[in-house]
Structures are given as structure tokens and as C-alpha cells.
Structure 1
């Protein structure tokens, strides 16, 4: 007798309950942070485009820090190299957790989001290079449109009121995690020069000490925070972008749970640090990076200069085509089936939403055109414009299916037996069916009592006198 064929892998299938709970908790914080990020970006634009614009420049360029340690930096520089190290620290923990306990732990399951993310980074870069090659612009900004900003994307979802089912949200989160990983590699490889090997060796030694302390089970923020600051300072002085230190330390944390643990150390620290990253570090970075002068001429330049047009088209067109095409090709060649509750237009809407590339795109824009302040500001404006267009298009596409998403999300939350576990996750549990039978019997009995009290029999006829 022939062996039964394996069950086809589902694209955007239902998450396990622990993974669903983790995603819900993580994205709840990111959504709040995304709203703060939007407010900070708007505040920066208003501040920079009013009569107080000179004060914005003065504050951003104000230097503070010990010059003897090579850390006499501007406020804008501290926000980009210092505060974003916290953001990348959380990104490192997320990546580690995805690799050991999340969607990336199974190579077969990881193939689809990884391929989608890679295509979603390659296509925007190709679009940018095509536009700048045709227009005779600089190829230096090819990496600017490759990044997705998960907080900004979630803020858009919060504003338009779309309750995406957990599978779509998890796919977006996994895309962003893989996206962050390759953004980190791009920063490390392409934006590192003039290496100071003594400082780099010191940073590496500090990371080794950090790793050994973790393996020995040493606890206490008063040990790790000062050590992290030393590692960060050495990494900055080495010529490697300082945010790499945050990623490295995040990856060293243990994110697998041992017997008796409700949370792994990595998950616990992420839970503590994520609000600081999403609620303070990233909004402050946006405040001191998004303040560009906006005029009719500068807006028209966004669509006429090859570098800025390349960024806009990379975010809006490249991201959508790359992620959608990568997902479709991965599903096609792995013979995976799309979740029957969803459709391919849902994937296109999510791919369009991923075209919102704010935080890391702004950072890479500053690094790519660091010698040209005017072009840097123009590229920042193009990141803002491209992200805005992607957000509007995604909102239109998502609103067309909002009732489907709300119904799926409500089904995931339904808990009629009041067990604390959504019913959809208990359907294979015999105890669940016993509880539901008891609930239905109780409701039927209550209905009979009300009918008898009203003088009507339970079958709808008059009760006997």
C-alpha cells in the first residue's frame, strides 16, 4: 500500500499558542512605540519648518561627551549611534529567539519568510540602481530602501483600525527580524572604514567577557550595563558602526526555556528593554533625524533627482514586488498551500505595508551620503515620502479585506468556555468538548426556564394550563 502523502505546508498558517502569545505581546509594545515614532517624526518636521527651525539645527548639532574618549558627539549623533544601539540590542534578541524558538528554528518553515525578506531587500536595491544608472545618479544609496520599519508599519495598522490575524502579524514581524539582520550586515560590511584594530580588539574582548558572565550565570544589571557601555564605546572608536555592539550582545543571550522557566533570560530582558527601545530610543532618533526642510521645490526634487526617486520607487514598488514575488515563488517551488482563510491579495497588501522603511532607512541614508549634507536631507525626505505612499497604498489594500481580518482575529480570540485559552486551540482536546457540551446544556436549560416563566413551552407552543 502506498504511503500517505505528507500534509502540504501552509503559507501563513495558524501559529502555535505560545508563539501567538509572544507575537501578540511583542507587537503590542511595538504598536505603542510606532505611534510615538509617528508623533516624533511629525514633531521633527514641524520644528524644522517653523521659525524655530534654527533652534532645531542648534540642538541637533550641540556636542556633548568626553572628548578624551573619542565620544564628543552631537545630539543627533548620540541618537543615531547611541540610542539605536538599544534598538539593535532588542533586534539581536528577537533574531536569537526566532532562531531557537520561533519561526526560523525549522529550516523548512524558515525558508519562506527568509526568501521573502531577501527578495524584499534585493528588489528595492535593484530598483534604486536601475533608476540611478538611467538617471546618472549616485549608486551609494542602494541600501536605503531595503529596510522595513516594523514599528511604523504597526502604527499604520493601529491608525486604520485593521485587526490582522496573528499569522499575518507574525509574518510581518519575521520579515522585519530577517530584514534587520541583513541591514546589520550591510552596515557592518559597507559602512565600516578606517578600522582601529586596538579598539576593535578591546570591543571583542569585552564581548567575550559578556559571554562568559552569561554562561557562568552571573546576574545583576550593575555588572552588564557598565560592561555594555564599555563595549559600545570601544566599538564606536573602532570604526565599526556602534550599533553592531548591541546586536552582538543581544545574540549572546539565552532565548530557549529550561524546565520550570516561564521565560528565558533573553525573553525576560527583551520584555524589560523593548519599551525603552520602542518608547524612547527610536522616537528620539526620529526626532533628531526626520527634521528636514520641506518646500515645494524639495518635494518636487524627490521625484526628479535619481537618488531620491530611486529611494521612493525602491520602497513603494521594489518592496511590494520583492516580498510578494519571493513569497509566491517559495510557495510554488516548495508546494506549500496558502492558508485557506487568506488570499494572495492579502500577501500583496502586507508586502506593500513592508515598504514603510523609516528608522534603519534614515540611518543608512545618513551613512551613505555622510559627506553631502544637502543630499542627505533630500534622501531623508524621499524616505519619508516613500514610506507615506507605501502606508497609504497598504491602508487601501488592507481596508478592502478588513471584515475578513476582523472575523479571523475575533475567531482567534473566542473563548466561550472561559478557560483562558482560545477555543480554536482546544478543538482537538476531548476535555474542551465536554466543557462546551456542559455550557450548551446550561444555556438550553436557562432558555427552557425563561420560556416556562413566560408561559411558553420549550418547543414554541403554549404551555398547558
Structure 2
């Protein structure tokens, strides 16, 4: 921190209130409501007009022209995916994914909780328009889910949060793979090779113990541009950069946690709410809601999130433990699993992201987003209720049980 004319100035991430998951969730929710208000009450045409405004960055042939929505979705969201990459790297090196047996259950649960919603979506859309949107209900919005857990307070044991975080990390990996493999239309090999060379250059600099931040930022921007021009979604550059970040000590510093600590508050408090503001402005007038109620796209997303997520997660987790491939924390029962699965049905941010990638026209994307809104809202409320019921204190007329050694510590 530093002082300027008697005022203490620090980084945003150093303020505890701003680092709270509840704060990020509130800002995200506020951005969604503002986008809906802007598109439906103020001016739908004005809303689209703003986000379709083109902006050119660069000079002459060395320039990129995109509208504001694409600068947010392809550019700023790369930082969001960079944080995802950092989280994945940490979990595999020093976190809950390091122990294969302990990680087996949430990994399998994440896969089951991604596959079943996709199957449900396909069942609703088979033979009709919109079948390519099967990736939409696969995603989990960890920011919203953790914010709900935080609202539930100390009654939520740490094992539940750890399981949900591990599941969400694996879910993020699956979402990135789906985006990279299935929602990439045309690949330009030369640009993709250039992006890979840029990543390799960063690894060489790391081995040479180069610590110049501007150098890494410059190469990172070059990797992003190459990925954008390659046809692979540009946000994959953020994931790749996060995965190659050193996980241990680098010249006496923990680079991974330092980088995550600086970027994560910006993504949670600014970039993700801005993304929601630019993408959540779905027009709900003119019979659109009625169309969604009979649309396979909207219903497939909604049922996939509300039903597919908890059923897929719970059944897969119990099956993996039953056959002895992994172990579930004793503090997590079946009721907890169902509640965690319901919270995982909050697919907001990445689901909206895939909605815009999956469809060429805005009509189907609008229907999918209505399904995302409804499914995420129902999942959040249902998950909170289920977890509260599963963790409600026992009523006893006798004295409270003695604390264990672990609880005393």
C-alpha cells in the first residue's frame, strides 16, 4: 500500500469485501438485471446498437476490427479463462486433483454431470433446429455457485466447498475442450502454429529465469492474436497461458498465486459482469417467453441444467465410490451430493458464452439464453434449499456432543 495526501491506496484485491464471492455474485446478478432492463424496458435496439459498435485496434494491416461485444467475449474474457487455467494448474499440482483416489469421485461426477445434460438437450432437439447447442447445459458457473455457498454460511462444511470447487475445475476443463474442439469452425494451421511457437517461447524464457513482466505480456498478446486468427476461439489462449505458468517458486516468488491474486478480482468484479451486461440482454417481450416454453432449445437447456446436472453428478459419484474407484469424504452424504449437483446447474457465464458460439443466428441463441436464465435460477434456489435441509442442525434435549480433536484445533 501507499499513501497519497493522507489516503491509504491499495490494490482492489486487497480489500476483503471486494474479494468475497458474494460481492462478485451480486455484481454479476446486477449486470444481468441491468441488461434485461436495458433490452426490454429502455430500448432493445439501443442495447444492440451499443454492443455492435465497431472498434479498431492497431494501424493499417496490423489492426483488428471487432464490435464491442466481440472485444469483450474474445478479448477481455481471455483473462477470465486465464484464471481458469491458473486454477486448473494449481489443483493438479498442489490442490484437490493431486491425489488420484480422492479426486476420482468429483472428476467422474463432473463428467457425468456434463454428459447427461448434453444427452437431455439432444433428446429435446433431435431432428429439429438447434441440436448443435448441446454444449450449453454442460457448464457450471463456479462464481455464482460459490456465492450461494457463501450465503449459506458456516453450516456448509469445508468438504462440500472442496468437492464443488474440484467438480467445477474439471467442468471448466471439459467446457474448454468442447469450445476448442466442437465450436471451432475453420482452423488456419499457420496461425495456430505461430500461437504454439509463442507458448514455447514463454517456456524457454521461464527456463532461462527471465522475470521481465512486459516481455511475457507482449508475447501473451501475440499468442492471443495468433489464436484469434487461427480460428480456434481466442479465449483458449488464456487457458494455455495459465497452464504453462510456473506452479512453484520462480526466482523466489509464487508467480501462479501472485498472478491469480491480481487478475481474479478484476475478472470477478469487472470483466464477468461486463460480459453479462453485453450478453444477457435477451428481449422477453413479443411472445418470446411463450416461444421458449415450447422450444426444444430452451427446454433442453433448462431440463439439462435442473435435472441433468444433479442426477448425473449424484449417480456417477455414488457409482464410482461403490465400485471402489474412489472415495467420497465422509462428511458428504447423498443429500449433500444432490444439493451440490443442483448448484452445479447454475451454468450462467460459460453457458451464455457457448450459446453465442453454437448458433449462427440470434433467434436460437435468445431461446437458449432464456433456458439458461430459468435453469440457473431454479438450480440456485433448489441447491440452496437442499443443502440447508441436508445440513440443518439436529434437535436434541441432551448436552451438545464433545468436540473432536480436529474441531478443537
Task: State the TM-score, normalizing by the size of structure 2.
Answer: 0.87
Q: Say whether the 8 Å CA contact 1:162–1:398 is kept in structure 2.
A: no
What is the aligned partner in structure 2 of residue 333 from structure 1? 323
Q: Say whether the 8 Å CA contact 1:292–1:381 is kept in structure 2.
A: yes
What is the aligned partner in structure 1 of residue 238 from structure 2? 246
Which of 337, 349, 363 pairs up with 1:347? 337
What is the aligned partner in structure 2 of residue 76 from structure 1? 69
Shift of 1:257: 5.0
Shift of 1:358: 0.8
What is the aligned partner in structure 2 of residue 116 from structure 1? 109
* Aligned counterparts of 1:175 and 1:216: Cα–Cα separation in 2: 35
What is the aligned partner in structure 1 of residue 31 from structure 2? 40
Change (3 A) 1:166 1:136: same
What is the aligned partner in structure 1 of residue 12 from structure 2? none
* Aligned counterparts of 1:274 and 1:49: Cα–Cα separation in 2: 31
Q: Say whether the 8 Å CA contact 1:187–1:364 is kept in structure 2.
A: yes
What is the aligned partner in structure 2 of residue 456 from structure 1? none
* Aligned counterparts of 1:146 and 1:161: Cα–Cα separation in 2: 27
Q: Say whether the 8 Å CA contact 2:101–2:326 is kept in structure 1.
A: no
SS at match of 1:194: coil
Shift of 1:147: 0.3
Change (3 A) 1:70 1:39: same
* Aligned counterparts of 1:358 and 1:147: Cα–Cα separation in 2: 8
Structure number with larger C-alpha Rg: 1
Shift of 1:289: 0.6
Deviation string 1:174-224 (CA, Å, 9 cap, x unpaired) is 111111111111111111122222222221111111121222221232222
Q: Say whether the 8 Å CA contact 2:117–2:305 is kept in structure 1.
A: yes
Shift of 1:303: 2.4
Shift of 1:29: 4.5
Q: Say whether the 8 Å CA contact 2:105–2:328 is kept in structure 1.
A: no
SS at match of 1:284: helix
What is the aligned partner in structure 2 of residue 381 from structure 1? 370
Q: Say whether the 8 Å CA contact 1:29–1:275 is kept in structure 2.
A: no
What is the aligned partner in structure 2 of residue 57 from structure 1? 48
What is the aligned partner in structure 1 of residue 79 from structure 2? 86
Work out whether 1:220 is the aligned partner of 2:212: yes
SS at match of 1:73: strand
Change (3 A) 1:221 1:335: closer
* Aligned counterparts of 2:383 and 2:389: Cα–Cα separation in 1: 10
Gap regions ≥5 residues in structure 1: 1-24, 406-415, 417-421, 428-465
Which of 361, 372, 378 pairs up with 1:372? 361
What is the aligned partner in structure 1 of residue 406 from structure 2? 424
Aligned pairs for 1:142-153 (under 5 A) are: 142-153=134-145
Q: Say whether the 8 Å CA contact 2:35–2:278 is kept in structure 1.
A: yes
Segment of structure 1 superposing worse, 109-118 or 294-303: 294-303
Change (3 A) 1:337 1:183: closer
Count of aligned residue pairs for this structure pair: 384
Segment of structure 1 superposing worse, 211-220 or 275-284: 211-220
Gap regions ≥5 residues in structure 2: 1-15, 395-402
Q: Say whether the 8 Å CA contact 1:119–1:323 is kept in structure 2.
A: yes
What is the aligned partner in structure 2 of residue 231 from structure 1? 223
* Aligned counterparts of 2:405 and 2:288: Cα–Cα separation in 1: 54
Aligned pairs for 1:107-186 (under 5 A) are: 107-133=100-126, 136-159=128-151, 163-186=155-178
Q: Say whether the 8 Å CA contact 2:36–2:283 is kept in structure 1.
A: yes
Shift of 1:285: 0.7
* Aligned counterparts of 1:83 and 1:404: Cα–Cα separation in 2: 44
Change (3 A) 1:275 1:196: same
Shift of 1:267: 1.6
Task: State the TM-score, normalizing by the size of structure 1.
Answer: 0.77
